[in-house]
Structure 1
C-alpha cells in the first residue's frame, strides 16, 4: 500500500506539501494540488485517520459507546450509525460500556485519547453531572437513549412513559383487565419510565396493578422465562403480559407454552423494541417499535455536525415516540 513518502517521491515534492494536500491546507498551488491528488488516485493511496489526527489535532472518526455488542437492539443502533459514517467516509471507533460506571467512563476516555471529537454515547451508569461535563469538553458529544435537561440539545431520546401507556392501552382496548408486567431489574431509567406509563394508563382506567403482578428479572430471553415462572409460582392471575422488551416477551411465551398456556388464546403478550426477533416468534409478537436505527442515524449526524463547528441550538431536543406494531400475540378477551 502506498505511503505519504511514496506520494512525495512520485510528485517530486516534500512530505509537508503532500500533508497539506491531504488536509486541505494552504500554501499549495492549484496545479501542484491537482497533480498530487492525481498521483494519490493512481497509487490508490488512502490517508490514515490516526495520522491525520496527529496533524490536525482532530480525528476523522466517530466514537460510539454501546451498552453491549451482541444484543440485537444495539446491533440495530450500530447499523443506524454506520449508514451515516459510510456516507461521510468516517471511521467508527466502538466500545462497550456494559452498564457499569467504570467501564462507561473508561470507554469515553479511550475515545478522547484517540482525539475523537464526535461521539455518540449510550450511557446508563454515569451520573448527569459527569455527562454534562463531557458535553462541555467534547464538541461533538451526543447522548442517545437518555435525556438530560441541561444538555437537551445533545440528547436523542425516546419517550418511554408514552411507550408504557401505549402498551397498557393496547391491552385495555382488547378487554384485558388482569395484567402482569415483567421488567428489567437494572437500575436505569427505561424500565422505571415504562412502568410509570403503564401505571398511569391503568389508573386512568380505574384498574389496579398489584405489586404481586410485577416481576423483575434480566432483560433477556432467560429473564422472561424466569419472570413468568415466578408469577405463576405465587399464583398471580393475568390474561395479558406487558414485557420490558422483545427478548423478555419471547422468553415469557416460551414459559407459557411449556405450561400449555397458549398465546394469545389464553394469555396475550406484548413486547417493546421491534427487533428482528419479534417477527420470527410464534406467534409473531405484537410490540412497540423503538425507532432506534432512525435515532442512531440522527445522533451520528448531530455528533459530526457539532464536531465540525455547528453550534447546538438552545431549547431544541430530539424526542422520539414508539409506535404499535400489531402482529399475532395479542387477542381480545
Structure 2
C-alpha cells in the first residue's frame, strides 16, 4: 500500500507538497498538482484521514466490519476485538455492512481511507474473488466467520457443518426422530452449512428430515415465532426443534408456549451461538457455544501482527484458524418419551 513518502519520492517533491495536494491546499502549481494526483492514482494511494499515521507510515487504527450493531452476536464479536486493541493501545474504527455487497465494500473502503492497514472483516455478501483481492492488497486483512481456501491463513472461522451435526446428534442420542428446523432466509453460507450438517447426521442415523418441516425466516426472535407458527399451521409433526441461532430458537419457543405446548416436556428446542439471551429464556436454552469472542480476539491479534510484520503473513500461508462449537446443556431439551 503506497504511502505519502512513496508519492513524494515518485513525484520528486517534498512531503509538504504532497500533503497540500491531498488537502487541496495552496502554493502548488496546476501542472505539479495534476502530476501528483496522477501518480497517486497509479500507485493506488488512498487519502489518509490521520496525518500522523501518514508521516509515520503506521496504522494507528484497527478497522472492523460487522453486519449490524444491534445484534448481540456482533456486539460480542466487537468486544473481543476491542479487548485486544485496548491492550495494544490501538483505536478501533467500526463500520457496518448490513449483509449487502455494496455496503460491505463501502465499509471496507471507508476504513482504508482512514489508513487502516489492520482490518477484521465479517463479510457474507461479497464474492470470494473480491475478498481474495482485498486480502492481497491490505497487509493486515483478516476475514472472520468465513473460510476461503485461497486465503485460508487470513481466515478465522467456525465449522458450521460440524455444528449442525453436533446439534442433530445430541437430539438423536436423546431418542428424537421427528425434527423441525427453523433456519435463516438469508442467502449466505451459515444456514446452508448448518442445515447440511443436520442432514448428514440424520442420514447417517437413518432418520428422514421432511422438507415440509424446514421453515425459513429472518434470523431473529420474530422470525423464529413466525417460522414456528407456519410449521404448526400446516400440521408439521416433530418432537425436536433445531434453531439456526438462539434468537430464532427463543422465538420458536415463545410460539410453542403460547399455543399450549410445554418445553421441553412436549417438544425440545436447541439453539446456536450461546448469546446472553439463551441464559435468560424460560426454560433456559440448550444451545451450541459459538466462541466468537475468542475468535474475534485471535482475528485482532493476527490483523495487527500481519500489518506490522508482512513477512509473518507469508510464513503463515499453510495455517488456518478453525474453531468448532460445543454443546451447552440447559433446560430446553429432554429425552423423548
TM norm structure 1:
0.85
Residue number in structure 2 paired with 1:69: 69
1:285 CA drift (Å)? 0.2
1:58 CA drift (Å)? 3.0
1:309 CA drift (Å)? 1.3
1:145 aligns with 2:145: yes
1:197 CA drift (Å)? 0.3
In the alignment, is the contact (CA less than 8 A) between 1:57 and 1:115 conserved in 2? no
1:324 corresponds, among 324, 327, 331, to: 327
Residue number in structure 1 paired with 2:172: 172
Residue number in structure 1 paired with 2:189: 189
Please give the secondary structure, in 2, of the residue aligned with 1:288.
strand
Residue number in structure 1 paired with 2:89: 89
Deviations 1:40-76 (A, max 9, x none): xxxxxxxxx9232131233210000000011000000
Residue number in structure 1 paired with 2:219: 219
Give runs of aligned pairs for residues 236-247 of structure 1, distance below 5 A.
236-247=236-247
Q: Which runs of 4+ in 1 moved over 6 A?
A: none
Separation in 1 of the partners of 2:213 and 2:330?
24
Residue number in structure 2 paired with 1:276: 276
In the alignment, is the contact (CA less than 8 A) between 1:52 and 1:59 conserved in 2? no
Separation in 1 of the partners of 2:259 and 2:182?
18
Residue number in structure 2 paired with 1:6: none
Separation in 2 of the partners of 1:73 and 1:274?
9
Please give the secondary structure, in 1, of the residue aligned with 2:272.
strand
Q: What number of residue pairs does the alignment pair up?
A: 286
Deviations 1:283-320 (A, max 9, x none): 00000000000000000000000000142212100000
Please give the secondary structure, in 2, of the residue aligned with 1:125.
coil
In the alignment, is the contact (CA less than 8 A) between 1:64 and 1:119 conserved in 2? yes
Structure 1 vs Structure 2 CA RMSD: 1.1
1:203 aligns with 2:209: no
Separation in 2 of the partners of 1:288 and 1:323?
5
Residue number in structure 1 paired with 2:16: none
Residue number in structure 2 paired with 1:290: 290
Give runs of aligned pairs for residues 19-168 of structure 1, distance below 5 A.
50-168=50-168
Separation in 1 of the partners of 2:267 and 2:50?
55
- Which stretches in structure 2 are left out of the alignment for 5+ residues? 1-48
Please give the secondary structure, in 2, of the residue aligned with 1:285.
coil
1:90 CA drift (Å)? 0.3
Separation in 1 of the partners of 2:301 and 2:54?
24
TM norm structure 2:
0.84
